Structures are given as C-alpha cells and as structure tokens.
Copies of this chain bind each other. A is one copy, B any other.
Amino acid sequence: MAVTGVLRPGFVQMRVMDLEAAIIHYRDRIGLEMSGEPVDGRAYLRGFDEFDRHSIVLREAKQPGLDMMAFKVRSDNDLDRFAGRLNGMGVKVETVPAGEQPGVGRRIRFVTPTKHTIDLYTEMALAKEGPMISNPDLWHKEPRGMRATRFDHCALSGIDIDGSAKIFTDALDFEISERAVDEPSNTRLAIFLTCSNKAHDVAFLGHGEDGKLHHASFLLESWHDVGHAADVIARYQISRDIGPTRHGITRGQTIYFFDPSGNRNETFAGGYQYYPDNPLREWSSDQAGKGIFYYEGRLNDTFLTALT
C-alpha cells in the first residue's frame, strides 16, 4: 500500500511516582533498553527491536497516568496536512517545539474529547545501538526479562470514545478494526483503531471518567514468551492483573500487570493481520466479556476499575 500519514504509535509518556523503581520495572522486567541516563526527571527507553531512540518516556510525578501518546507520521508535510484537517474539524492544535524531548522534532498536539493528549511528530533520532542493518544479526545481546521487542499501542479510557475515534478516522485516516456496542443504548463500549496491518494501534474504552490510561502495551514474539512473561511476573512478584489469556478482539495472546506506580502494562503476541478491506468485526454487549478475554468469557473486576 502507499504508506503515508501516520506510521505508528511512536511513544507514550507516562507518569511514575518512583523513577528508579520504574526503571527497574521497564528495563529489567519488561526488558526495554535505556536511551542514556534520565534527564529532566524523565527516563527514555525503547524495545530492542526499535530503531528510534525512545518509545517509552517515564516522568516522575506525584500521580501515575498518561502525559501524552505520540504518533510518528511519515513526512513534515503530513504534520501540516493533519493540523489543517484537525482545525477543520474544530479540534484545536498546538505546537510543541523540537527538543522538548531529546532527539524529537517539532510536534503538533491536540486533545481528544476523552481528554487524552495526542502528539504527532515526524523526526526522532535513531538509537545508538538499534537493530543492525549491515548483515544484521537478530539482536546485539540476548533479550532479557519479558523480552519485549517494541512498544505497540495504548488503550485510553474516557466518556465520548465515539468522538475520539472520529478524530482518528476522519482526520488521521485510521480504520476501525473492531468494536463492541451496547445495543440497548447504542453506546460504544470499546473501539479499536489501526493505521497499519496490526489489529490495533490505539483503542478507546468507554469509562465514566476522562483522560485515563487503561494500558500501555508491548509486543512479544510468541505465546511462549507470554508464558515466560508470566513466569517473570510471578518470580519478581509484579502485580498481575489477568492472564496469560487471549483476547477475542484482535486475538492477541496476552498478560496484564501493573508497573510499581499502578499504570497497567500489557505484553502480548499474535493477532491477525489487518487490511482495510476487512469487514468490521463487531461484538454485542452480551459477548463483550468473551471479546476482551476469550478464555474467561467475562471481565475481571480490576479491568474496568484500575485505571491511571
């Protein structure tokens, strides 16, 4: 396909209450690489299979949660084009100057109806020891911890998820791959959006409070590694939410857990290849539990309540 516009979720900036504990969690347990030492109270990390210098930013703060989720777009022109479209939809667009994060160019920023801050950018410095490109080996050194290969997506919770999704589809050319609907009220319970061949790049989950982070998710190589992630979680007494299990929605094989500040993480593998000519997959409210957790067939309590 002609690959234009939004390429992928580029990074997420999350608030953590103890930066040192967070680094141990994301670096040693999830297995991310540090991009240098923390600066300005923020630590920058990336999966070992990511070229760009960072995809996870941890900012020390008094409360956990999401600062912003940022998407990388293909060209500088795209930034202007998207800014124009957003303005056209009545969405206010701000600019974040280059260098606010190390190695990151100018960003345009908007806030969704669900009160999530979204950035778009086109320039990020490459990691010093990113994936090899000349007669490349698989990795520089063996993956450690949960062996996460890359930051994959976020799920964001709030009230008007239809409104937020509409910005992604109409202004940013995302597709809706799957959704769950409460038929009586015709309310969207969950909307999964993709700008790629992945089943989702961002999801919006209906919730009574805006601006919430449901989870930040990391890609694993296989179900075998999902099991290994569960071993790591148990061994180091990481707070586990649910899994290993499988999603009906996206079919991903998954485990959920919490970072030391209470932000939910997911490590997952699998899922189908998405193409924009795929029919929309829909879940009715009585089957939404199976959609979220295919094996359990129902949600666990914390899944809907433990948000940051």
Scan residues 137-172 of chain A and give those whose CB is less than 8 A from a CB of chain B. 137-139, 142, 144-145, 150
Instruction: Find chain B residues with CB under 8 A from A183 CB.
Output: none
One digit per residue, 1 when the CB lies within 8 angstroms of any chain B CB and 0 when it does not, for chain A 269-289 equals 010110111111111100100
Asked if A72 is an interface residue, CB under 8 A from chain B, the answer is yes
A39 at the A/B interface (Cβ < 8 Å)? no
Number of copies: 4
Interface residues of A in 222-276 (CB under 8 A from B): 222-224, 227, 230-235, 240, 243-246, 248, 251, 253, 270, 272-273, 275-276
Please tell me if the beta carbons of B3 and A7 are within 8 angstroms of each other in the complex: no
Task: Give the residues in chain B near A145, CB-CB below 8 Å.
Answer: 142
Kindly list chain B residues whose C-beta atoms are within 8 Å of the C-beta of A115.
Answer: none
A139 CA / B236 CA spacing, docked (Å): 11
Which chain B positions have C-beta within 8 A of A240?
A: 295-297
Q: Does A134 reach chain B (CB closer than 8 Å)?
A: yes
Within 8 A of B (CB), among A31-84: 49, 51, 72, 74
Nearest B residue to A152, CB-CB: B273
Cβ-defined contact, B1 with A234, below 8 A: no
Q: What residues of chain B lie closer than 8 Å to A150, measured between beta carbons?
A: 273
Indicate if the CB atoms of A133 and B1 lie closer than 8 Å.
no
Closest-by-CB residue of B relative to A249 is B136
Determine the chain B residues whose CB is within 8 A of the CB of A296 once the complex forms.
240
- By a CB distance below 8 angstroms, the chain B residues around A72 are 277
Q: Mark A193-219, 1 if CB is under 8 A from B, else 0.
A: 001111000000000000000000001
A290 at the interface (CB under 8 A from B): yes
Give the CA-CA distance A173 to B296 in the complex, in Å: 40
- B244 and A231: CB pair below 8 A? no
Interface residue A221 (Cβ < 8 Å from any Cβ of B)? yes
A8 at the interface (CB under 8 A from B): yes
Bound form: Cα–Cα A272–B134 in Å: 16
The answer on a CB contact under 8 Å between B51 and A133 is no
Whether the Cβ atoms of A234 and B197 lie closer than 8 Å is no
Q: A290–B135 contact, CB under 8 A?
A: yes
A12 touches B (CB below 8 Å): no
User: What residues of chain B lie closer than 8 Å to A222, measured between beta carbons?
Assistant: 222-224, 270
Are B144 and A142 in touch, CB under 8 angstroms? Answer: yes
Q: Judge whether A4 and B7 touch: CB under 8 Å.
A: no
Contact in complex: A133, B281 (CB < 8 Å): yes
The answer to whether B248 and A227 touch across the interface, beta carbons within 8 angstroms, is no
A11 adjacent to chain B (CB < 8 Å): no
Q: Is the CB of A282 within 8 A of B133?
A: yes
Further pairs besides A3-B175, A234-B294, A240-B296: 12, Cβ < 8 Å = A1-B1, A1-B4, A2-B2, A7-B276, A7-B277, A51-B277, A134-B282, A197-B198, A198-B273, A224-B224, A233-B295, A244-B245
| Across the A-B interface, the 7 shortest Cβ-Cβ residue pairs | A2-B5, A224-B224, A135-B287, A2-B173, A2-B4, A197-B197, A3-B276
